[in-house]
Amino acid sequence: MRKKFFAIWSILLVLVISIAVLVPGCGDGARYDLTMAVSPAGSGTATDLTGASPYASGTAVNITATALGSYQFVKWTAPAGTFADPNAATTTFTMPAQNVTVTANFVEPLDHFLSYDVPEWLEYVGEEVSLKDQFVDITVTVEWTLDFLNPAAKNLTESWPSILHPDYHLTIYGFNYTPTQYWKVQVENQFTSGPQWLDIWGPVALAVPTQKLVPGDHGFPEGLDHFLAYLVLQGPYLETPASVKDEFCPPEGEAVTVWSPVEFFVPVQKTHGAEVTDIKNPLAHLVFYEITGAQVSYPEVQVANQFFAKNLTLGEPANKLGVPTLKLDFYESQG
Protein backbone atom coordinates (compact mmCIF):
# COMPACT_ATOMS: atom_id res chain seq x y z
CA MET A 1 0.00 0.00 0.00
CA ARG A 2 2.80 2.39 0.95
CA LYS A 3 4.67 1.61 -2.28
CA LYS A 4 1.51 2.30 -4.28
CA PHE A 5 1.02 5.63 -2.44
CA PHE A 6 4.57 6.82 -3.20
CA ALA A 7 4.26 5.70 -6.82
CA ILE A 8 1.12 7.84 -7.30
CA TRP A 9 2.76 10.89 -5.76
CA SER A 10 5.85 10.39 -7.90
CA ILE A 11 3.69 10.41 -11.03
CA LEU A 12 1.86 13.58 -9.89
CA LEU A 13 5.15 15.32 -9.14
CA VAL A 14 6.49 14.53 -12.61
CA LEU A 15 3.27 15.90 -14.16
CA VAL A 16 3.49 19.15 -12.17
CA ILE A 17 7.12 19.68 -13.17
CA SER A 18 6.31 18.96 -16.83
CA ILE A 19 3.44 21.45 -16.84
CA ALA A 20 5.63 24.14 -15.21
CA VAL A 21 8.24 23.70 -17.93
CA LEU A 22 5.75 23.63 -20.83
CA VAL A 23 3.44 26.51 -19.80
CA PRO A 24 4.93 29.98 -20.58
CA GLY A 25 5.51 32.10 -17.49
CA CYS A 26 5.70 29.13 -15.13
CA GLY A 27 8.91 27.99 -13.55
CA ASP A 28 12.45 29.30 -13.81
CA GLY A 29 12.81 28.39 -17.49
CA ALA A 30 10.51 31.08 -18.94
CA ARG A 31 12.30 33.77 -20.95
CA TYR A 32 10.90 36.85 -22.69
CA ASP A 33 12.11 38.96 -25.61
CA LEU A 34 13.19 42.56 -25.07
CA THR A 35 12.94 44.79 -28.16
CA MET A 36 14.54 48.25 -28.16
CA ALA A 37 12.92 51.07 -30.18
CA VAL A 38 13.09 54.86 -30.65
CA SER A 39 10.48 57.56 -31.34
CA PRO A 40 10.45 59.39 -33.68
CA ALA A 41 12.38 57.33 -36.24
CA GLY A 42 15.90 58.59 -36.83
CA SER A 43 16.02 60.63 -33.63
CA GLY A 44 18.53 58.45 -31.77
CA THR A 45 19.46 54.96 -30.67
CA ALA A 46 18.25 52.70 -27.84
CA THR A 47 20.66 50.01 -26.66
CA ASP A 48 20.35 46.98 -24.40
CA LEU A 49 23.72 47.11 -22.63
CA THR A 50 23.20 43.74 -20.95
CA GLY A 51 22.65 42.18 -24.37
CA ALA A 52 21.29 38.80 -23.26
CA SER A 53 17.64 38.82 -24.42
CA PRO A 54 15.48 36.79 -23.87
CA TYR A 55 15.31 37.42 -20.12
CA ALA A 56 13.56 35.91 -17.14
CA SER A 57 10.85 37.94 -15.46
CA GLY A 58 12.34 40.27 -12.84
CA THR A 59 15.71 40.62 -14.55
CA ALA A 60 17.23 44.10 -14.26
CA VAL A 61 18.49 45.07 -17.73
CA ASN A 62 20.92 47.94 -18.30
CA ILE A 63 19.74 50.25 -21.12
CA THR A 64 20.96 53.53 -22.63
CA ALA A 65 19.65 56.10 -25.12
CA THR A 66 21.77 58.29 -27.39
CA ALA A 67 20.35 61.26 -29.29
CA LEU A 68 21.27 62.01 -32.90
CA GLY A 69 21.65 65.44 -34.49
CA SER A 70 19.78 68.16 -32.62
CA TYR A 71 17.38 65.73 -30.90
CA GLN A 72 17.32 65.41 -27.12
CA PHE A 73 16.34 62.41 -25.01
CA VAL A 74 13.09 62.91 -23.07
CA LYS A 75 11.96 59.66 -21.43
CA TRP A 76 11.62 55.86 -21.61
CA THR A 77 8.24 54.18 -22.11
CA ALA A 78 7.09 50.55 -22.14
CA PRO A 79 3.66 48.83 -21.91
CA ALA A 80 4.86 46.66 -18.99
CA GLY A 81 7.87 46.43 -16.68
CA THR A 82 9.45 49.21 -14.66
CA PHE A 83 12.32 51.69 -15.01
CA ALA A 84 14.68 52.70 -12.22
CA ASP A 85 14.44 56.24 -13.64
CA PRO A 86 12.37 56.73 -16.83
CA ASN A 87 13.83 60.22 -17.33
CA ALA A 88 17.49 59.15 -17.28
CA ALA A 89 19.16 58.28 -20.59
CA THR A 90 21.08 55.43 -18.93
CA THR A 91 19.08 53.39 -16.45
CA THR A 92 17.84 49.86 -15.68
CA PHE A 93 14.63 48.21 -16.83
CA THR A 94 13.03 45.34 -14.87
CA MET A 95 11.56 42.72 -17.18
CA PRO A 96 7.87 41.78 -16.93
CA ALA A 97 6.52 38.25 -17.52
CA GLN A 98 5.88 38.94 -21.21
CA ASN A 99 7.63 40.02 -24.39
CA VAL A 100 8.07 43.78 -24.30
CA THR A 101 9.22 46.75 -26.40
CA VAL A 102 11.10 49.52 -24.59
CA THR A 103 11.06 52.88 -26.41
CA ALA A 104 13.48 55.79 -26.04
CA ASN A 105 11.56 59.00 -26.77
CA PHE A 106 13.41 61.99 -28.19
CA VAL A 107 12.38 65.52 -29.11
CA GLU A 108 13.95 67.96 -31.56
CA PRO A 109 14.12 71.30 -29.76
CA LEU A 110 12.07 74.09 -31.28
CA ASP A 111 13.05 77.71 -31.27
CA HIS A 112 11.06 80.38 -29.56
CA PHE A 113 8.65 82.21 -31.89
CA LEU A 114 7.50 85.81 -32.00
CA SER A 115 3.90 86.16 -33.16
CA TYR A 116 2.88 89.09 -35.39
CA ASP A 117 -0.71 89.98 -36.28
CA VAL A 118 -1.69 90.04 -39.96
CA PRO A 119 -4.37 92.76 -39.83
CA GLU A 120 -4.96 92.95 -43.58
CA TRP A 121 -7.72 90.58 -44.74
CA LEU A 122 -6.48 88.48 -47.64
CA GLU A 123 -8.71 86.56 -50.00
CA TYR A 124 -10.59 83.61 -48.59
CA VAL A 125 -8.59 80.34 -48.70
CA GLY A 126 -11.51 77.90 -48.79
CA GLU A 127 -9.42 74.69 -48.67
CA GLU A 128 -10.77 71.62 -46.83
CA VAL A 129 -8.35 69.72 -44.60
CA SER A 130 -8.66 66.85 -42.13
CA LEU A 131 -6.79 67.28 -38.86
CA LYS A 132 -5.95 64.67 -36.23
CA ASP A 133 -4.01 65.20 -33.02
CA GLN A 134 -4.14 63.67 -29.54
CA PHE A 135 -7.37 65.57 -28.74
CA VAL A 136 -9.52 65.78 -31.89
CA ASP A 137 -10.12 64.25 -35.32
CA ILE A 138 -11.94 66.87 -37.44
CA THR A 139 -12.45 68.09 -41.00
CA VAL A 140 -12.56 71.87 -41.47
CA THR A 141 -12.38 74.56 -44.14
CA VAL A 142 -9.39 76.88 -43.82
CA GLU A 143 -10.53 80.50 -44.04
CA TRP A 144 -8.46 83.61 -43.18
CA THR A 145 -4.85 84.46 -42.28
CA LEU A 146 -4.46 85.49 -38.62
CA ASP A 147 -0.78 85.61 -37.59
CA PHE A 148 2.77 85.10 -38.80
CA LEU A 149 5.31 83.35 -36.54
CA ASN A 150 9.01 84.14 -36.80
CA PRO A 151 11.77 82.12 -35.06
CA ALA A 152 13.39 84.14 -32.29
CA ALA A 153 16.07 84.05 -29.63
CA LYS A 154 15.22 84.82 -26.01
CA ASN A 155 17.48 85.50 -23.09
CA LEU A 156 17.04 86.16 -19.42
CA THR A 157 20.74 86.96 -18.93
CA GLU A 158 23.39 88.76 -20.99
CA SER A 159 24.12 86.16 -23.69
CA TRP A 160 21.98 85.42 -26.75
CA PRO A 161 21.41 81.77 -27.72
CA SER A 162 21.58 80.87 -31.40
CA ILE A 163 18.39 80.31 -33.38
CA LEU A 164 18.37 76.57 -34.11
CA HIS A 165 16.10 76.63 -37.16
CA PRO A 166 16.13 80.01 -38.93
CA ASP A 167 13.97 78.56 -41.75
CA TYR A 168 11.14 77.53 -39.40
CA HIS A 169 8.23 79.92 -39.97
CA LEU A 170 4.50 79.38 -39.50
CA THR A 171 1.38 81.10 -40.80
CA ILE A 172 -1.75 80.85 -38.64
CA TYR A 173 -5.16 80.37 -40.28
CA GLY A 174 -8.63 80.39 -38.79
CA PHE A 175 -11.16 77.72 -39.81
CA ASN A 176 -14.89 77.03 -39.60
CA TYR A 177 -15.09 74.97 -36.44
CA THR A 178 -16.79 75.67 -33.14
CA PRO A 179 -15.02 73.84 -30.28
CA THR A 180 -17.09 72.11 -27.64
CA GLN A 181 -14.44 70.34 -25.56
CA TYR A 182 -12.15 71.35 -22.73
CA TRP A 183 -8.95 69.68 -21.58
CA LYS A 184 -6.44 69.95 -18.79
CA VAL A 185 -2.82 69.58 -19.88
CA GLN A 186 0.23 69.28 -17.67
CA VAL A 187 3.18 71.13 -19.17
CA GLU A 188 6.71 72.13 -18.26
CA ASN A 189 8.91 74.88 -19.69
CA GLN A 190 11.24 77.62 -18.49
CA PHE A 191 8.32 79.68 -17.11
CA THR A 192 6.42 76.94 -15.26
CA SER A 193 8.88 76.23 -12.41
CA GLY A 194 8.12 72.51 -12.63
CA PRO A 195 5.05 70.67 -13.94
CA GLN A 196 1.97 72.87 -14.23
CA TRP A 197 -1.64 72.31 -15.31
CA LEU A 198 -3.32 74.51 -17.93
CA ASP A 199 -7.01 74.60 -18.86
CA ILE A 200 -7.40 74.68 -22.64
CA TRP A 201 -10.28 74.90 -25.14
CA GLY A 202 -10.28 74.38 -28.87
CA PRO A 203 -8.91 73.94 -31.42
CA VAL A 204 -9.31 77.42 -32.85
CA ALA A 205 -6.64 77.75 -35.57
CA LEU A 206 -4.14 75.87 -37.76
CA ALA A 207 -0.42 76.70 -37.99
CA VAL A 208 1.07 75.84 -41.39
CA PRO A 209 4.83 75.58 -42.15
CA THR A 210 5.75 78.53 -44.34
CA GLN A 211 8.73 79.64 -46.40
CA LYS A 212 9.74 83.25 -45.87
CA LEU A 213 11.10 84.53 -49.16
CA VAL A 214 11.66 88.20 -48.30
CA PRO A 215 13.50 89.23 -46.23
CA GLY A 216 16.19 86.59 -45.92
CA ASP A 217 15.49 84.16 -48.79
CA HIS A 218 14.84 81.29 -46.38
CA GLY A 219 14.34 77.67 -47.42
CA PHE A 220 11.14 75.72 -46.87
CA PRO A 221 10.99 74.49 -43.24
CA GLU A 222 11.64 70.76 -43.78
CA GLY A 223 10.87 68.83 -40.61
CA LEU A 224 8.53 71.40 -39.05
CA ASP A 225 5.12 70.04 -38.05
CA HIS A 226 1.72 71.59 -38.54
CA PHE A 227 0.12 72.63 -35.22
CA LEU A 228 -3.39 73.05 -33.89
CA ALA A 229 -3.81 76.09 -31.63
CA TYR A 230 -5.89 75.82 -28.43
CA LEU A 231 -6.87 78.73 -26.20
CA VAL A 232 -5.52 78.69 -22.65
CA LEU A 233 -8.44 79.56 -20.38
CA GLN A 234 -6.53 79.53 -17.14
CA GLY A 235 -2.81 79.80 -16.48
CA PRO A 236 -0.27 81.45 -14.16
CA TYR A 237 0.27 85.20 -13.90
CA LEU A 238 3.94 85.91 -14.66
CA GLU A 239 5.00 89.55 -15.31
CA THR A 240 8.53 88.33 -16.12
CA PRO A 241 11.06 90.62 -17.89
CA ALA A 242 12.93 89.12 -20.86
CA SER A 243 14.76 90.13 -24.01
CA VAL A 244 13.78 88.82 -27.45
CA LYS A 245 15.34 89.09 -30.88
CA ASP A 246 14.40 87.89 -34.36
CA GLU A 247 15.25 88.86 -37.93
CA PHE A 248 13.24 92.08 -37.57
CA CYS A 249 14.76 93.25 -34.27
CA PRO A 250 17.97 95.25 -33.78
CA PRO A 251 21.11 93.32 -32.69
CA GLU A 252 20.59 94.29 -29.06
CA GLY A 253 17.06 92.82 -29.13
CA GLU A 254 13.96 94.18 -27.45
CA ALA A 255 13.09 94.31 -23.76
CA VAL A 256 9.62 92.86 -23.16
CA THR A 257 7.45 91.67 -20.29
CA VAL A 258 6.09 88.12 -20.45
CA TRP A 259 2.58 87.74 -19.07
CA SER A 260 0.10 84.85 -18.82
CA PRO A 261 -0.14 81.96 -21.34
CA VAL A 262 -2.81 82.48 -24.00
CA GLU A 263 -2.37 79.61 -26.52
CA PHE A 264 -1.18 75.99 -26.53
CA PHE A 265 0.13 74.49 -29.79
CA VAL A 266 -0.11 70.74 -30.46
CA PRO A 267 1.51 68.96 -33.46
CA VAL A 268 -1.17 67.64 -35.83
CA GLN A 269 -1.47 65.25 -38.77
CA LYS A 270 -2.97 67.05 -41.77
CA THR A 271 -4.70 65.56 -44.80
CA HIS A 272 -5.10 67.97 -47.73
CA GLY A 273 -6.66 66.28 -50.76
CA ALA A 274 -4.68 63.07 -51.29
CA GLU A 275 -1.62 64.34 -49.40
CA VAL A 276 -1.14 63.22 -45.79
CA THR A 277 1.43 65.10 -43.70
CA ASP A 278 2.30 62.97 -40.68
CA ILE A 279 3.55 64.30 -37.35
CA LYS A 280 7.35 64.26 -37.32
CA ASN A 281 8.08 65.45 -33.79
CA PRO A 282 5.16 64.34 -31.56
CA LEU A 283 6.66 65.58 -28.29
CA ALA A 284 7.33 69.17 -29.47
CA HIS A 285 4.68 71.60 -28.21
CA LEU A 286 4.56 75.37 -27.76
CA VAL A 287 2.94 77.60 -25.17
CA PHE A 288 2.39 81.19 -26.33
CA TYR A 289 2.56 83.93 -23.70
CA GLU A 290 1.26 87.44 -24.09
CA ILE A 291 4.08 90.01 -24.21
CA THR A 292 4.17 93.78 -24.00
CA GLY A 293 6.93 96.27 -24.68
CA ALA A 294 7.99 95.17 -28.19
CA GLN A 295 8.61 98.17 -30.46
CA VAL A 296 9.71 96.79 -33.82
CA SER A 297 7.34 95.68 -36.57
CA TYR A 298 8.27 94.75 -40.11
CA PRO A 299 6.07 96.35 -42.77
CA GLU A 300 5.83 93.42 -45.14
CA VAL A 301 7.11 89.87 -45.65
CA GLN A 302 6.78 87.67 -48.72
CA VAL A 303 5.81 84.10 -47.88
CA ALA A 304 4.79 80.87 -49.61
CA ASN A 305 3.06 77.74 -48.33
CA GLN A 306 0.58 75.13 -49.57
CA PHE A 307 -2.28 77.63 -49.65
CA PHE A 308 -0.72 80.67 -51.35
CA ALA A 309 2.33 82.80 -52.17
CA LYS A 310 1.62 86.28 -50.80
CA ASN A 311 2.94 89.42 -49.30
CA LEU A 312 1.83 89.70 -45.67
CA THR A 313 1.68 93.09 -43.98
CA LEU A 314 2.68 92.86 -40.31
CA GLY A 315 0.87 95.79 -38.80
CA GLU A 316 1.99 95.75 -35.16
CA PRO A 317 5.01 94.73 -33.09
CA ALA A 318 5.08 91.17 -31.78
CA ASN A 319 2.42 90.53 -29.13
CA LYS A 320 3.03 86.87 -28.19
CA LEU A 321 6.09 84.75 -27.42
CA GLY A 322 5.99 81.02 -28.21
CA VAL A 323 8.03 78.89 -25.80
CA PRO A 324 9.09 75.26 -26.46
CA THR A 325 7.18 73.09 -24.00
CA LEU A 326 7.05 69.46 -22.90
CA LYS A 327 3.54 68.07 -22.41
CA LEU A 328 3.57 65.57 -19.54
CA ASP A 329 -0.09 64.54 -19.17
CA PHE A 330 -3.63 65.47 -20.18
CA TYR A 331 -7.26 64.52 -19.63
CA GLU A 332 -10.62 65.68 -20.92
CA SER A 333 -12.38 68.11 -18.62
CA GLN A 334 -16.10 68.20 -18.03
CA GLY A 335 -16.16 71.95 -18.59
- Tell me the per-residue pLDDT of 110-130, one tens digit each, with 9 for 90 and over: 899 999 999 876 778 999 999
Confidence of residue 156 (pLDDT cuts 50, 70, 90): low
Which alpha helices (DSSP H) does 249-305 contain, by range?
none
Question: Distance between CA atoms of 80 and 84, rounded to whole angstroms?
Answer: 13
- Tell me the per-residue pLDDT of 302-323, one tens digit each, with 9 for 90 and over: 999 998 888 888 878 999 999 9
Q: For residue 60, what is the enclosing H or E element? A: strand 60-67
Please enumerate in sequence order all residues whose Cβ is within 8 A of that of 8, keeping only pairs 6 or more positions apart, or say none: none
Domain extents in the chain: 31-107, 112-333
pTM (predicted TM-score): 0.78
Mean pLDDT of the region 318-335: 89
The residue ranking higher by pLDDT, 250 or 133, is 133
CA 35 from centre of chain: 24
CB 114 within 8 A of CB 78: no
Q: What is the pLDDT of residue 30?
A: 93
Question: Distance between CA atoms of 38 and 51, rounded to whole angstroms?
Answer: 17
Mean pLDDT of the region 140-166: 87
- Tell me the per-residue pLDDT of 231-280, one tens digit each, with 9 for 90 and over: 999 888 999 999 999 999 888 899 999 999 999 999 999 999 899 999 98
For the cut 60, the answer to whether the pLDDT of residue 1 exceeds it is no
- Which amino acid is it at 69? G
